[in-house]
Amino acid sequence: MLYLIGLGLSHESDITVRGLETVKKCKRVYLEAYTSILMAADQSSLEKFYGKEIILADRELVETGADSILEGADKDDIAFLVVGDVFGATTHTDLVLRAKELGIPYESIHNASVMNAVGACGLQLYQFGQTVSLVFFTDSWKPDSFYSKVMENRKIGLHTLLLLDIKVKEQSIENMARGRLIYEPPRYMDIAVAAQQLLEIEETKQEKAYTPDTPCVAVSRLGSPTQTFKAGSLKQMAEYDAGEPLHSLIMLGRQVHDLELEYLYQFVDNKDEFKKLVEADQEYFKPPAWVPPEEDDMSD
């Protein structure tokens, strides 16, 4: 059996009881180690807690070496551990499909992920639209595919969760070209960089998907003991020091419920100022008032 097991967001003990019992019985245990990190645990603390050796599965192994992960899974139990939920922010359907092709049964053991835990900021989950990813810009590469999705969410009044880039075990272009297995230090996008990149794309496109005054919520270290939230304008976010990673950013939609707003006030510098931002934003993309069609004149 192949077991895909969610680990939660922070501690080694965030794994579910069923997940832990399953890990303990597996012959091999892999940890997907390139899309996210457990903020309060590392490989050694996981191995100590589970009582099992853990094999780190980097991007190359997961994307091109699925056969080695699945080797023997038709006879033995193999665990594939994922930070957050198995099918949360990053899905591993490709591994499941490969297992099915080989006739290997699989089971998923779920856990909390940023996709549901983000409700801790006070915004209602069913008021969120499409989730988008924001990657580090380079001098020659500034992808903006996220922009149209933000625009669509904003037009229908829904919040947008932006997942911020992390770079783990990445090679520089020069080292890659020379075939040198030298990896860059890990990098984690922070709130200020994300906001600056958003403003840069809006300035380039000029389509007004959002403005510097669009209200946002910074989400830092979600699910950890140092979890924090900060609400303010996008331009304020561009100067905000959110501290240690990991971070996400939420751009508010037009349909902010009074209860959501009341909850967000605890994360603002100035309640009245933030309220004005939200009220002004509610007029943004506001659909025109519906006017009933005129009745046909049936008189002669």
103 marked among binding-site residues: no
* Termini Cα distance of the chain: 79
139 marked among binding-site residues: no
Cα 231 to chain centroid distance, Å, stands at: 18
Dist. CA 134–CA 118, nearest whole Å? 17
222 marked among binding-site residues: yes
Q: Residue holding tokens 């909850």?
A: 263
Dist. CA 26–CA 191, nearest whole Å? 39
114 marked among binding-site residues: yes
Helices 191-205 and 146-155: angle between axes, nearest 10 degrees = 80
Residue 218 near residue 240 (C-beta atoms within 8 A): yes
Dist. CA 27–CA 173, nearest whole Å? 37
CB-based burial label for 116 (10 Å; 0-12, 13-18, 19+)? middle
Provide the CB-side half-sphere exposure for 193 (13 A, CA).
18
19 marked among binding-site residues: no
88 marked among binding-site residues: yes
65 marked among binding-site residues: no
247 marked among binding-site residues: yes
Structure tokens at 65: 């070496």
Residue 239 near residue 230 (C-beta atoms within 8 A): no
Residues flagged as binding site for S-adenosyl-L-methionine: 9, 85, 88, 113-114, 164, 222, 247
Residues flagged as binding site: 9, 85, 88, 113-114, 164, 222, 247
